[in-house]
Structure 1
Amino acid sequence: MKASPQMQARLLELQELDTRIAQLEHRLASLPEQIDITRMEREQPALEADVVRTSTEVSDLEREVGKAESAVQLVRDRAARDQERLDAGSGTAKSLQGLQHELESLARRQGVLEDAELEVMERLEQAQAGQEAATAAQQKHEGRLAELRAARDEKAATIGAERDEVAAGRAAIVADVSAELLALYERLRAHSGSGAAPLQQRRCGGCRLELNTVDLNRIKAAAEDEVVRCEECGRILVRTAESGL
């Protein structure tokens, strides 16, 4: 393959930009905020489930309190009616005595129901405290997550803008490289991460190995426009003033 020395030198510029683009993309993929975001997003369903669970518990206990209050009120109403009849003194002595016994029974029943009502109300207070704690934890979590996402997006925008700028410079260089040479470069870059390297002080700038005398003589004898490659790593070797030939 033939390519002018200037075109081959452009490959080194292209490789430098490709390395920079890869570095920027790695930074984008490994932002520290994203690591925390991923962890917190995994934790989010459990926090949401806690809110649902505690809210359901509060709703159930509120219904229980309502039922307990209704049961107590029914006994109170019954006792009030009996007390009115007893105070009126209407009826036989036996019926009035029966009312007295029923009032005593209702009083005991009311005490039991009020104790049960108090116990449910205490459980409701505890459940409401748990609901408030779960809601607060979720809101704090969501607030922190929003902060992290904003910080990540800001950094990503800055890095992305730099990457786009570098990519624009890359496009300008690509326009100066022949399709055949560019295809070889891209194929090598896909295989080893870089497609071209400078020959410096008799070493390949890609694999960092020193070329033997035979390879150095072969490259020295090659025409300036001949594209040469490292025998060890296969990269395109670009000859420079520091090649040591």
Structure 2
Amino acid sequence: MTGKVTDTVNSDHPAHDPVLRGGDRDTLLTLVRVDERIRLLKARLDALPETAEVERLEEAEAARRRREIGTRRIAHDIYGTLRRLKADSARLRERRRDDIAGLRAVTDPVRRRDLRHDLEVAERRLAELREDIAREQRTLATFGHALDGAEDSREGNPGHAGDGATGHGDAGRHGDTDAGAELARARGEERAVTGEIRRQLTELAARSVRLRAALPHEILVRYERCERDQGIGAVELDGSTCRCCCIQLDTATMRRFAGTPPDRLVSCPECGVLLVRAVSSGGADHV
């Protein structure tokens, strides 16, 4: 911070500094520690390693699903190509049977020549289709388990591509199961940790409310004003260092504090937060 707080009263104006009476010091100090614990737990809740692990696994699962969708889209196209090739092959086999039957029945030389030519074309095209079908089946096999069920509604299995991918499919399904189990475990751990932190926050928040209600109105107003402006209502003075702004107070300020009655609150001249000074006896409840 570059400028000192001027609107918060310090020990130069003792008439305006709240006075701690009876158990006010213990109450305030306990409130300081309770609220500090609340801030720490909220900060931890925002940066849990368990949450980071869940997010990492969820992103990995989302990436796997995106890859699977892309692969299944490719598989759908390949299965469509295989169905078309097999349909063409079936028509050519039927055509070949008709040509062979015609050659057995027809004696006209011209007609027989045409049938032989058509038969040769059908045989040549059938050979090409067999190569095309084999290539598509090999492509299917390389995709492994991602293709399982991609075309469950198809009539028959185009070739035996599924058989070639079965081993990969089993391994892939086991991998998916392991990833799902790991994500479920991570989510369970996150729920357990966050549940415990939220339980503690609920208890601490209720305790903070009770402690605030026990403080004198003047002290509570100052505390909540500092809390609103700085995020912290009061801190324990750690030697000569303010634990809110982490600035070491100068010797003149510390001398003023030493000359201020111990039952009177003082404020940090840098950030304005209330400072609870150490006393030789007494003490607050532990949080």
Q: Structure 1 length as normaliser, TM-score?
A: 0.81
1:92 to 1:196, Cα distance in 2 relative to 1, 3 A: closer
Instruction: Give SS of 1:194's match.
Output: coil
Name structure 1 gaps, 5 residues minimum.
none
Q: Which residue of 2 aligns with 1:7?
A: 24
Q: Which residue of 1 aligns with 2:63?
A: 46
Return the match for 1:182 from 207, 220, 226.
220
Residue type of the alignment partner of 1:154: A
Residue type of the alignment partner of 1:228: V
1:97 partnered with 2:139: no
User: CA offset at residue 101 of structure 1?
Assistant: 3.2
Q: Which range is displaced more, 63-72 or 41-50?
A: 41-50
Contact 1:198 1:204 (C-alpha < 8 Å) held by counterparts: no
Return the match for 2:258 from 212, 216, 227.
216
1:112 to 1:141, Cα distance in 2 relative to 1, 3 A: same
Cα RMSD (Å)? 3.0
Asked which structure has the greater RCO (Cα within 8 Å, sep 6+), the reply is: 2
1:103 to 1:26, Cα distance in 2 relative to 1, 3 A: same
Contact 2:236 2:277 (C-alpha < 8 Å) held by counterparts: yes
Instruction: Give SS of 2:214's match.
Output: coil
Q: Which residue of 1 aligns with 2:152?
A: none
User: CA offset at residue 147 of structure 1?
Assistant: 2.0
Name structure 2 gaps, 5 residues minimum.
1-15, 149-167, 282-287
1:35 partnered with 2:52: yes
User: CA offset at residue 107 of structure 1?
Assistant: 1.6
* Percent identity over paired residues: 24
Q: Which residue of 1 aligns with 2:90?
A: 73
Alignment of 1:160-171 (within 5 A): 160-171=198-209
1:49 to 1:139, Cα distance in 2 relative to 1, 3 A: farther
Structure-2 separation of matches of 1:83 and 1:169: 97
Tell me the number of residue pairs that the alignment of Structure 1 and Structure 2 aligns: 237
User: Which structure has more helix as a fraction of its residues?
Assistant: 1
Structure-1 separation of matches of 2:81 and 2:143: 13
Q: Structure 2 length as normaliser, TM-score?
A: 0.70
Contact 1:197 1:204 (C-alpha < 8 Å) held by counterparts: no
